Amino acid sequence: MFCQDILKIVEILDGKIIRKELVNGDKIKGVSIDSRNIIPGQLFIPIKGENFDGHDYIKAAMDNGALISLTSDEEKMPPNVSGILVKDTQEALVKLAKYYRSTFEIPFIGITGSVGKTSCKEMIASVLSTRFKVHKTKGNYNNDIGLPLTILDMDVDTEISILEMGMNHFNEIDFLGEIALPDYAVITNIGLSHIENLGSQEGILRAKSEIINHLSPDGLLLLNGDDEFLRTLEGKVSQEITFFGFNKTNEYFVKNYEALGLEGVKATIQSPTETYNINLNTLGKHMLYHTLSAIIIGERLSLIKEEIEKGISQYENEKMRLNIVKLENGITIINDSYNASVDSMKAAIDILDHSKTEGRSVAILGDMFEMGAFSKGAHEDVGKYIASKSIDMLICVGEDSRWMYEGAFAHGYKGNLLYYKTKDGLNDAMKDVLKHKDLILVKASRGMKLEDTIEKIKEVSINEF
């Protein structure tokens, strides 16, 4: 973690020490923006948000053990404690992250894209961790606050840093890239996520491509070569590009694969120099894109074939991302409730469709957010897609999911089709919906919080069966 003398921090931030006589050459040990989770010795950075002001919690942070606090308002500092006055505390957070980043001469890997950023990050980390000490983005710390905090949390002996970069507006990836200064950049795909703010997939491509602005001149850009939008970057980038995908025109490609339903995926992957026989303990052929990225970077960093294959085999999904939950009464849940887009919906539907089950296959699908004027067409597209599959029951939940329901109906969906305007309405009816040995996919955008529905399924399965 970031450890530094207080007076050096003042210098880095071009700040002003408050009550300098109370500073005794101590060093801060880490950084926090949450007064409730202070570890003694940390620097507290109060951030101003739309509905809160971290300055109101400086005293609480100091009481909980913070060594010192930044402030942009000297009057907000409690009496009898020292502080560092800066113009803007969030800008100060970024300055510290940039400074700390500059002290490392190790590979930094930046990952962005419409879908799959976290899974890609975790797969690359799983592979590289077979040899290196890897530091990676935790949870959803992929924005203008989370990424600087991720860098400041790095141990000094870190050998690889993997940083996830999220955005929903133009210039946000550029901002994050300027902090991270990646040596490797991965763009997973160009989908419809955040199209409400970016206008079109061409706009999304432009926003995601901002990661290239701060990619090292001798760095490597990894692109999904099966994505028609990313393919347009060929010949337009000064850095080296490596394309990957299922199409055999890519430099790294999937020779063959078999989706094993709930048992995972096995595949043969070809690189320019090696053939890899892969066994994934996770669901969906889309995971092979992230496997390809991990192989490319693993080879570039001189990992041997056995290390790469070991790392791939050890991969585990993050929480609420295609997790398998088996209940005692024979019901199985595929929990993919963390987030949703058109592409990830289709990938999850494929998994359900290909999974063997003694009971019914059931899809509980909720709204996809941030679609704007594209929402109707996007939800109808998912409905049309599921109509082409052999899934026994589709339950659509949420305001916009009525279009998913209508899309499935219009394209001849042959299963049992239900619609609930609200999550509570579905939850109230759950005991009449479930049957023994159902295999249930649950997926929606984060704001739908369909993990509540999963808890209801568990409750009903215990009490009713």
Is the torsion defined by CA of 30, 34, 38, 42 positive or negative?
positive
Q: What is the pLDDT of residue 21?
A: 78
Number of Cβ within 10 Å of residue 295's Cβ equals: 27
- Virtual CA dihedral for 202, 208, 211, 212, nearest 10 degrees? -30
Q: How confident is the model at residue 93 (pLDDT cuts 50, 70, 90)?
A: very high
Lowest mean pLDDT among 98-102, 144-148, 353-357: 353-357
Lowest mean pLDDT among 15-24, 415-424, 440-449: 15-24
Annotated binding residue at 114? yes
Closest CA to 110 of 212, 1, 235: 212
Annotated binding residue at 437? no
Annotated binding residue at 375? no
Annotated binding residue at 357? no
Q: How confident is the model at residue 464 (pLDDT cuts 50, 70, 90)?
A: low
Q: Mean of the pLDDT values across residues 218-223?
A: 98
Number of Cβ within 10 Å of residue 386's Cβ equals: 26
Q: What is the pLDDT of residues 253-288, one digit of tens each?
A: 999 999 887 888 999 999 999 999 999 988 888 999
pLDDT at 108 over 60: yes
Q: What is the pLDDT of residues 53-92, one digit of tens each?
A: 999 999 999 999 999 999 999 988 998 889 999 999 999 9
Number of Cβ within 10 Å of residue 389's Cβ equals: 18
Q: What is the pLDDT of residue 330?
A: 85
Q: Mean of the pLDDT values across residues 78-107?
A: 95
Q: What is the pLDDT of residues 226-249, one digit of tens each?
A: 999 999 999 999 999 999 999 999
pLDDT at 322 over 90: no
Q: What is the pLDDT of residue 168?
A: 85
pLDDT at 465 over 80: no
Annotated binding residue at 115? yes
Q: Mean of the pLDDT values across residues 159-176?
A: 95
Q: Where are the domains of the chain?
A: 3-89, 104-313, 323-464
Q: What is the pLDDT of residue 224?
A: 98
**Residue predicted with more confidence, 108 or 26:** 108
Q: How confident is the model at residue 311 (pLDDT cuts 50, 70, 90)?
A: very high
Number of Cβ within 10 Å of residue 38's Cβ equals: 22
As a whole number of angstroms, the distance between CA 5 and CA 90 comes to 20
Q: How confident is the model at residue 329 (pLDDT cuts 50, 70, 90)?
A: confident
Q: What is the pLDDT of residue 63?
A: 93
Cα separation values, 256 from 242, 246, 273, Å: 20, 8, 17
Q: What is the pLDDT of residue 463?
A: 64
**Residue predicted with more confidence, 276 or 460:** 276
pLDDT over 90 percentage in the chain: 79
Annotated binding residue at 118? yes
- Please state which architecture CATH assigns to domain 3-89: 3-Layer(aba) Sandwich (3.40)
pLDDT at 369 over 70: yes
Annotated binding residue at 161? no
Domain 323-464: CATH class, spelled out = alpha beta
The domain made up of 104-313 is a member of CATH 3.40.1190.10: yes
Q: What is the pLDDT of residue 244?
A: 98
Q: Mean of the pLDDT values across residues 157-173?
A: 95
The number of helices, as runs of H, and strands, as runs of E, in the chain is 16, 22
As a whole number of angstroms, the distance between CA 446 and CA 322 comes to 14
What the block records as the tokens of 436 is: 């023994």
Number of Cβ within 10 Å of residue 197's Cβ equals: 16
Mean pLDDT of all residues in the chain? 93
**Residue predicted with more confidence, 340 or 218:** 218
